[in-house]
Structure 1
């Protein structure tokens, strides 16, 4: 499956890129599995996307839970939590 990944704010800074296209193995079917797959790259990937970090996700510009199924050609965006006041 081929996806476009986008990273915002501190995630973008930590990874040193704002977007990329990836080809995923067949066993990566959800955003949670995608996130785990990306942490396996090691280094900054393991640190920035670690499972203990709170990260928001969007699939095709809709905020979703990590349990949502991925779709061929989809855009998956990762955001740090946002605070305001």
Structure 2
């Protein structure tokens, strides 16, 4: 009986881990014109940090900021690189 309880606990914790890991990996989102979006985390205190990270992600091309959310000292941006 004790072994059955241990197996049940192991299975339930394994299923919980599996279901939570599925939440962390999602398909990329796209803009209405088909460009893939990217999320960037950067320092909210330095707009230059955010700009440099976005330019690096877009291979030094331009980019559009779709959303910007600041939480304390961290800024989360969702960007879409501009087409050539």
Q: Do Structure 1 and Structure 2 share a fold, with TM-score over 0.5?
A: no
TM-score (norm 1): 0.31
Answer 1 or 2: higher relative contact order, Cα 8 Å, separation at least 6: 1
TM-score (norm 2): 0.31
